[in-house]
Amino acid sequence: MLKTLKFRTPQWVHFGFGTAGEVGPEAKRLGAGRVLVLSGPNVAASGTMDPIFDSLKEQKLDYAHFDQVEEEPTIPNFYEALKVAKEGDFEVFVGVGGGSSMDLTKMVAALMVNEGKLEDYWGIDMVPQRGRPSILVTTTAGTGAEATRISVFADKEAGTKKVISAWNILADVAIVDPGLTVTMPSKVTADTGMDAFIHALESYLAKGSNPITENMSVDAIERIAHNLGPAYADGANLEARYNVSLASLLAGITLNNSGVGVMHALSFPIGVELGLTHGPALTVIMEATMRSLSVAQPKKFKAVAEAFGVDTNGLDPWEASEAAVDAMVMLSESVGCPTTLSEVGADRARFPEWAEGAYANRRLLDNTCRNLSVEDIVEILEESL
Ligand SMILES: [Fe+2]
């Protein structure tokens, strides 16, 4: 198809060992007098952030540290951070951590300029102006949040997650330093790595994919296929960490530009109701979803099989698709992620409601390569048992 396309990333992306030290020079370039660094309490205590603070000191920048970002930030947690930001009238915002800290930082920077409340901005492109400059530094390899325009909050009162998707909250600078991921526990490595894999996979298959993102997606799939196991088995394997971090960044970029699909729509109720982290909430439905979608994109499934190293010579498109799905299930199993809904105690009585909820998420369902009815989605869930 002769598609037109647009493509956007943070203005600057730094990738590689030692790039956490770019925080200071970048903050200076962005005009900082005063810098507010935001993170969760654990990463702050671990020493992971030392190179960031050192680089700010080297540039003689005045900075403060808000270290109370929650794991799944709530709306009150956001206002706590915003109060600190406004009282100090900080000029540049540095979010350090997994998706939570980076997502919260995007909106704190935005609300330093935009009027109103956080709750005014739920939905798509509701943020009218860019905020104050932001630098996002990831300490995991999976969410891709450093490269996306998305910010997610837990709405405890409504018992749901609220999403802001707005081009005006895309960071000015994204920094991915694989050195910050070497202390990640193996379970977190697996969970976040499978999330990154599925960002690459879903955005590759998505209706919104384009030649730029398709190339990046396949590259990310290949890197994760060959490096997630080694990074899981030995966190100090620097080459594996490098490749998984790069794949996560690429997958964040493809997610941001081409979107994801039905698996992410289904993962929200599954994660909340079964108390699963995001990666396993996806891997439990991966096999059945991918078998269902393969009919729509046989050529792409063949490319996925090849990215895993499968010799597809002599295989017909159906055999190649089966091989691709088998390989991704083996990857998930090899890093200890669950691959069926039975393993995580799902109750099939909940399937119709989950399917209705996913079906209603038109942003994701309209981007999925196969048109799925509510009944089709129930079938995927049944097949996932
Ligand atoms: Fe995800």
Instruction: Tell me the pLDDT tens digit for each residue of 182-213.
Output: 999 999 999 999 999 999 999 999 999 999 99
108 alpha carbon – ligand 1 mean position (Å): 22
Global confidence as pTM: 0.96
Instruction: Tell me the pLDDT tens digit for each residue of 41-59.
Output: 988 888 899 999 999 999 9
Q: Are residues 127 and 199 in the same domain?
A: no
Q: Are residues 25 and 168 in the same domain?
A: yes
Give the separation between CA 182 and CA 8, rounded to whole angstroms: 29
Q: Are residues 206 and 170 in the same domain?
A: no
148 alpha carbon – ligand 1 mean position (Å): 11
Instruction: Report yes or no on 253 lying in a domain.
Output: yes
Q: In which band, very low, low, confident or very high, does the pLDDT at 161 lie, cut at 50, 70 and 90?
A: confident
The CATH number for 124's domain is 3.40.50.1970
64 alpha carbon – ligand 1 mean position (Å): 30
Instruction: Tell me the pLDDT tens digit for each residue of 228-249.
Output: 999 999 999 999 999 999 999 9
Closest CA to 111 of 68, 166, 162: 166
Helix (H) or strand (E) holding 244: helix 238-258
Q: In which band, very low, low, confident or very high, does the pLDDT at 272 lie, cut at 50, 70 and 90?
A: confident
Cβ atoms of residues 222 and 307 within 8 Å: yes
57 alpha carbon – ligand 1 mean position (Å): 34
Q: What's the pLDDT score for residue 3?
A: 82
- The average pLDDT across 92-100 equals 95
Determine the length of the chain. Answer: 385
Q: What's the pLDDT score for residue 44?
A: 84
345 alpha carbon – ligand 1 mean position (Å): 21
Instruction: Report yes or no on 270 lying in a domain.
Output: yes
163 alpha carbon – ligand 1 mean position (Å): 13
Q: What's the pLDDT score for residue 236?
A: 97
Q: Are residues 168 and 205 in the same domain?
A: no
The CATH number for 196's domain is 1.20.1090.10
Q: Are residues 219 and 338 in the same domain?
A: yes
Q: Are residues 31 and 153 in the same domain?
A: yes
Lowest mean pLDDT: which of 69-73, 242-246, 329-333? 69-73
241 alpha carbon – ligand 1 mean position (Å): 19
Query: Helix, strand, coil: what percent of the chain each, to 5?
Result: 55, 10, 30
Among 152, 180, 208, the domain boundary falls at: 180
Instruction: Report yes or no on 221 lying in a domain.
Output: yes
Structural domain range at position 261: 185-383
Q: What's the pLDDT score for residue 160?
A: 74
Give the separation between CA 230 and CA 243, rounded to whole angstroms: 10
- Give the residue carrying structure tokens 């976040």: 192
332 alpha carbon – ligand 1 mean position (Å): 15
Q: Are residues 159 and 278 in the same domain?
A: no
Instruction: Report yes or no on 233 lying in a domain.
Output: yes
38 alpha carbon – ligand 1 mean position (Å): 22
Give the separation between CA 63 and CA 84, rounded to whole angstroms: 12
196 alpha carbon – ligand 1 mean position (Å): 7
138 alpha carbon – ligand 1 mean position (Å): 15
Q: What's the pLDDT score for residue 72?
A: 85
Q: Are residues 121 and 237 in the same domain?
A: no
Q: Are residues 310 and 169 in the same domain?
A: no
CB atoms within 10 A of CB 104: 30
24 alpha carbon – ligand 1 mean position (Å): 29
325 alpha carbon – ligand 1 mean position (Å): 19
Instruction: Report yes or no on 232 lying in a domain.
Output: yes
Q: Are residues 311 and 295 in the same domain?
A: yes
Give the separation between CA 267 and CA 257, rounded to whole angstroms: 20
Q: What's the pLDDT score for residue 2?
A: 80
| Number of folded domains that form the chain | 2
Instruction: Report yes or no on 7 lying in a domain.
Output: no
130 alpha carbon – ligand 1 mean position (Å): 24
pLDDT at 1 over 70: no
- Give the residue carrying structure tokens 């993170």: 39
278 alpha carbon – ligand 1 mean position (Å): 7
Among 149, 180, 211, the domain boundary falls at: 180
- The average pLDDT across 292-316 equals 97
Instruction: Report yes or no on 328 lying in a domain.
Output: yes
55 alpha carbon – ligand 1 mean position (Å): 31
Among 136, 165, 180, the domain boundary falls at: 180
Concatenate the DSSP letters of all residues of 314-344 into one string: T--HHHHHHHHHHHHHHHHHHTT---STGGG
Q: 234 — phi, psi (to 5°)? A: -145, 100
199 alpha carbon – ligand 1 mean position (Å): 6
Which residues are within 5 Å of ligand 1 (an ion), measured at CB?
A: 195
Q: Are residues 125 and 239 in the same domain?
A: no
Give the separation between CA 281 and CA 269, rounded to whole angstroms: 9
Instruction: Report yes or no on 2 lying in a domain.
Output: no
Q: Are residues 155 and 49 in the same domain?
A: yes
